[in-house]
Amino acid sequence: MPAKTQIVDGSGNTSSTAKVTTIGQLVTSPYDYNDASHQELGVADVAYNFYEPRHGMQFVVSGLVYSADQQVSNTTGATVVIYESDSDDSTTVDKVLHQDDLVKNDRVALIGINLLVNAGKFVNAKTDDDDIHMTILGYYIPELE
């Protein structure tokens, strides 16, 4: 019978334990549970803030779910940009995290991604068309050096 194996962080904290299954699979988990922030990008060329920086922390985007509703053209796509910025209301893109074009009733679901946001940056989104419905999932981790 195979031995049960665990990899621990040394502090005795069982929430950070990785395990090896009886068939040799390494089972780990994310650092923390996801937080979800939903907004309707209802006005073109406006910054919508989803997450703000926290002192000593960095944000990790783990999922993006968004859709274009009936107001978006079915021939000319709405460009959607999810980006890092220096303020919650800035449309200035410091770094693009994800960009896509959607036409009427398009849907995007990117789950299980692992995008690290730079320390001190806001996670914002904007579109050049209105009525994009967006949820960004993620969690904060201690700032990486």
What pTM value is reported for the model?
0.82
The domains found in the chain, sorted by start residue, are: 1-30 (no CATH), 32-142 (2.60.120.340)
- Distance (Å, whole) CA 133 – CA 39: 6
The token pair that represents 7 in the structure block: 């990899």
pLDDT value at position 24? Answer: 81
- Distance (Å, whole) CA 110 – CA 88: 23
Instruction: Quickly count: other Cβ atoms within 10 Å of residue 108's Cβ.
Output: 15
pLDDT value at position 20? Answer: 81
Q: Is the pLDDT of residue 81 over 80?
A: yes
